Amino acid sequence: MNALVVTFVLVSLSTGARETVDAAAARERVSPYSTFKVPHALIGLETGVLTGAEHAMKWDGVARARPEWNRDQTLRSAIEVSAVWYFQRLATALGLQREREWVEKLGYGNARVDGDVTTFWLGQSLRISADEQADFLRRLWTDALPFSPRNMQIVRDLLPGQRGPHGEIHAKTGSGRGTCWYVGHVTHDGAGYVFATRISDPSCDRVAAIALTERMLRERGLWVE
């Protein structure tokens, strides 16, 4: 794939060392799309709108593009299959003002929560850079966010993962309108790192973002399948 923009940010949790591919692109803010499910889940848990990993919501019977969305969901399954409707219902329950207050409190990207409460993170007002994604994840994995340790652990555990012979990856994809994200945490022989990958290209998809990230990590000796 001939990507128009590829950026990758890697931060060591033990030393703070940072590596960036295309520093200018890493500072560019774009929509978070479904990577916002990470802070969104934290906000839902901290406010009590969500009670835990198994908090259930009934499917409304409306058939959506991805078949795996068309069933009842829990927070766990909604993150696993990236069910947008679950988080849109969460956003409605939170309301625009609470969403805005929490996003501003987090300093998440441009912290703009405007317009439709069900779409502000889907190509609308909220924007974030790869640098800021990595910083948010660093704070999540070091218990430095304004959430309870319990809730941060729940969300870390819920992120889709895979295990290799030397460690694990737990991360979230996000994509829309030619932007594809893969952001998360990787361990290698006990050392932890956070990463943020973004591809901007009309033909990109979440599979490409995952593949690119795994290649970047393999090249640095941090991932072996």
Domain with residue 194: its CATH number is 3.40.710.10
Domain limits for position 46: 5-219
Residue 109 located in a structural domain: yes
Residue 225 located in a structural domain: no
Q: What is the pLDDT of residues 29-78, one digit of tens each?
A: 999 999 999 999 999 999 999 999 999 999 999 999 899 999 999 999 99
Q: What is the pLDDT of residues 103-124, one digit of tens each?
A: 999 999 999 999 999 999 999 9
Q: Which of 12, 14, 31, 34 is catalytic?
A: 34
User: How many whole angstroms separate alpha carbon 8 and alpha carbon 178?
Assistant: 17
Is 14 tagged catalytic? no
Q: Which helix (H) or strand (E) holds 8?
A: strand 5-12
Question: Per the confidence metrics, is the pTM higher than 0.85?
Answer: yes
**8 A C-beta contact, residue 53 and residue 75:** yes
